[in-house]
Amino acid sequence: MKKQAGNFAPGHQIIGRWKKRPYIILGKLGSGACGTVYKCRSTRGETYALKIGTDSSRLMLEVNMLKKFSKVQGEKLGPSFVDVDDYRIPEGPQLPFYVMEYIEGKPLPQFLAGKPKEWIGLCAAQLLGDIAKLHKAGYVFGDLKTDNLLVSGSLVRLIDVGGVTAAGRAIKEYTEFYDRGYWGMGSRKAEPSYDLFAITMIMLETAGAGRFEKGGSPKKTLEQKLSAVPLLNPYRTVIQNAWKGKYRDAGEMQKDLSGVLLYKAPAPTRVHFRADKRSSSDAGERTAIALFSVLLMGGSLVPFFL
């Protein structure tokens, strides 16, 4: 029978066997094949995320990946690494765990709800910029999905590195809906185009299509879903190009997305005093979108100022 990681209630204290650093469990954040993640607090009052599991080698791979992320983060690509140790459950097994930055934020679908269509492109463009840095470092994110994305401080953040794979190898972890192999749109080889396909599926999902089955003709299903989502009309060509493998890297796709945003965003106009508050707000949002698009085209990524 496979060992199970402990199910710790709020208030439980985990003390590292080797470094003796205590962490107080505040609540459970989620669980998966590799372990369970908890929100915790250190004795100094700092809030972190703690992942504990049963497979030491698998967790060490994730620790090494977090450390690599710190070298390519730049714009805070993923959570920062904090600590790693073992914990012996009283009268139970010894379990490996690691501690990382706790990212407070909104799930991407929740953040985008009710926002204009430009925001889907903006978030995708920023994500492409961050993913490009990972690709240049020789890695592919792999398990790229909305569950692994949070919007924190107006930036899209990646929160799980479990699927990150060295370029050229077979993708080690994936979720079917975002996996191009599942849709018959390519292999599961770790290369930039694998992540680009996943980003198009994130755009489909957050624009209103949700997650859906592939049906008897997967490619036809994708085209039908794309046509049925009005919010994605401006980005249709970019998405189709990604499906056809026309982009060599994330930078090319980001450039095309930014071009769409620049073309669609109206030039800033003078706001008349008679305009109502909503008109002023819309004008400000369009101006911010136009400015952000210009910065993207110049290769600089900045926070969303709305």
Bridge partners, residue 30, by sequence: 37
Contact between 290 and 266 under an 8 Å Cβ cutoff? The reply is yes
- Give the pLDDT confidence score for residue 264 in this predicted structure: 62
Mean pLDDT of the chain: 85
Q: What is the secondary structure of 201-264 as a DSSP string?
A: HHHHIIIII-S----SSHHHHHHHHHHT-GGGGGGHHHHHHHHTT--SSHHHHHHHHHHHHHHH
- Residue 71 is predicted with a pLDDT of 64
Highest mean predicted confidence (pLDDT) among 66-70, 114-118, 201-205, 295-299? 201-205
245: burial class by Cβ within 10 Å (0-12, 13-18, 19+)? middle
**Is the pLDDT confidence value at 281 over 50?**
no
Instruction: Determine the pLDDT at residue 76.
Output: 58
The b/e string for 226-238 (b: 16+ C-beta within 10 A; e otherwise) is beebebbebbeeb
- Give the residue range(s) of CATH 3.30.200.20 domains in the chain: 13-101
pLDDT attached to residue 169: 97
Of 172 and 239, which is predicted with more confidence?
239
pLDDT in tens, 148-192: 999 998 889 998 888 889 999 999 899 999 999 999 999 999 999
Q: Which residues of 145-172 are buried (b: 16+ CB within 10 A; e: fewer)?
A: bbbbbbbeeebbbbbbbbbbbeeeeebb
pLDDT digits (tens, 9 = 90+) for 41-78: 999 999 999 999 999 998 998 998 888 776 665 555 77
Position 298 pLDDT exceeds 60: no
Residue intervals of the chain classified under CATH 1.10.510.10 are: 106-297
What is the pLDDT at residue 120?
94
- To which H or E segment does residue 85 belong? strand 81-88
Question: Considering only CA atoms, which of 59, 62, 61, 79 is closest in space to residue 70?
Answer: 79
Annotated active-site positions, please?
143
The whole-number pLDDT of residue 250 equals: 97
Q: What is the pTM of this model?
A: 0.82
Mean pLDDT, residues 133-138 taken together = 91
Q: CA 37 to CA 49: how far, in whole Å?
A: 7
CB neighbours of residue 35 within 10 Å: 23
What is the CATH number assigned to the segment(s) 13-101?
3.30.200.20
Q: Show the tokens assigned to 41.
A: 């607090």
Residue 30: the pLDDT is 85
- Which of 286, 237, 229 is closest to 257 using CA atoms? 237
Residue 228 φ then ψ, to 5°: -85, 0
CATH 1.10.510.10 fits 106-297, yes or no: yes
> Who wins on pLDDT, 29 or 34?
29
Q: In this model, does residue 266 exceed pLDDT 70? A: no
Measured in degrees and rounded to the nearest 5, phi and psi for residue 149 equal -130, 135
